[in-house]
Structure formats: C-alpha cells, structure tokens
Structure 1
C-alpha cells in the first residue's frame, strides 16, 4: 500500500469524467488499498480515484462512527462503477468538505435518500438505499467521477470566490 498525492483545485483533472472499470483486477484492488491509505492519512471519509489522478469509476469510503474516546472501528467500503438509480424528492443539507479543496466547508443541499448500484471488489453487483451522511457522501464521490465538485452547488458568487482563492494559491505555489 502507498499514500498517493491528492490533486487539489484548480487541477483540471478534477473535471474529467472517469472511465468505467472494465474488470476487477489485482491492479484495481491495489488501487483501492492505496486509496484507503491515502484517505485515512488525509484524513477523510471518502475518496474518488480521480482525486489521485486515476480517472476510473472507483470510490473508497469509511463512515465509521467515533466513540467517546475518539476511537473508531474502520468500516471500509469500495464502490466500483457506482450509479445512483433513484433519488428522493426530499432534500437535506449537510456541511461538505473535500480533500481536493482543503480547509473549505460549505452547506450543500442534495436528495436526502438515494438508491445506489455498484460492484464490490469481487465483481458482485449490489444495490443499497442510502440516507443521512452515507447518501451525502456517495453523491459527493459519484459527482467526482463525473467531473463535478461540491462547490458547483454553491451560488455563483461563493463558487467564483473559492475558485479564485485556489487558483491564486496554486499560482503562488509555482512561483
């Protein structure tokens, strides 16, 4: 396993539409392992392969609850070629952040419940209903696979402000 570099806004790769995973291979399993290590190190609760410059429809997620001692039991999940097949009319608002847009958080409104279809690391098809944080996170990560960022849901003013901030930071980093 290896910690990979997470690409940061304004990197244009974040706007790519990821390609479907043709077959679950040892390379795909290794990529998922690297994604977990990268995600835990960041630390984050979800990571799309495109965030480590791999334009494949692969997501890792771990929504483990922390106990009163701050300890958690990992609940790692892998979603290959995930797709949302149903959305609720009801909406919910969660404060979202993103490992590719560090230290920026904003409330985003999304469907409160979704039904998702995906493959696991054994190539088996699953369908699950998601709500709460799970629904928000899976929608956020699937958006990444489609070249969509959570800031795209913000008002034009807020979105322009954050895009400008990260463009300036990237320019300073190069100088």
Structure 2
C-alpha cells in the first residue's frame, strides 16, 4: 500500500512588511475584487449582480464595497488589494525575495488585465497578533477530497508559532 503524501508549500513574510501592506489596504477607499467577488450581489450597486452576455459584468462592481484585504498571488507574493492612484501596487515577496524591475512589471501587468486575479484573499482580521510577530507563515496543503487548504500563522519573536487559522474557507 502506498502512502500518499499531501503536497505542502510554506512561504514566510517579514511581519513588519506585511503590516505596511495591511495599513495600505485599510487606508484605501476602493479595493480590487478577486475572482469570487463577481458572484456576490452586495458588491454591486443596488445589491444585485449585473450581467453582460449571461455572465457577471465585473466592470459594474462597486469597488468601495469590496473589503480591505491582502491577496496571496500564486505562492510568490502578498499584495494589498487597496487601490491607490498615487502609488503602484504595494506588495512583498516571499522569504525575503527582492523582485527585479522586470518581475515587478510583469506582476503589475498580470494584475492590471481585464481578468480578475485568481488569488487567495486574506481578510485583515486574520492577521490578528501581527503586532508582536516576527514572521507571517502561510501554508498551502492540497487535500485530495476538499481541494487546497490555506492556513496562516503569526510566528513570534521567540520562534513560537501562534494560532493557525484556515483563511480560504469561509462559512
């Protein structure tokens, strides 16, 4: 009998950098929607999904109704979903990785497309405890029955991990 290993990927971010992203997201009055938001009626003016060609018309989403959050894009970087016309996309890369200008441009290009980003949205409340944390650890685990599970934990200064929160499952 073969033991099926569950594929797991773990990425870490400096807590101080993540706090700057959280502040950016909170300060913005409008926020980028993610893929699932096109199906949420309360994000449209009038509280009803507006369609075009039998599909939700994402251009009709009221960006001021989207909650402030951070997006985990692929497993490479975290970004604020705050829209700030005076600033470029605010993001930090995993494990202290410094992006090249070329990578920054390609990431910005990918997110600026008409397509909504297919990302894991992590709400601000899930970052409780970040003030005292040294690192933010995010783990992806693929559950063959339930699909991907994304968890978040705050790693304290002494290296102790905090409470683990599942962030991609919402009741």
TM-score by length of 2: 0.31
**Could you say which structure has the higher helix fraction?**
1
Point out which structure has higher relative CO (alpha carbons under 8 A, 6+ apart). 2
TM-score by length of 1: 0.30
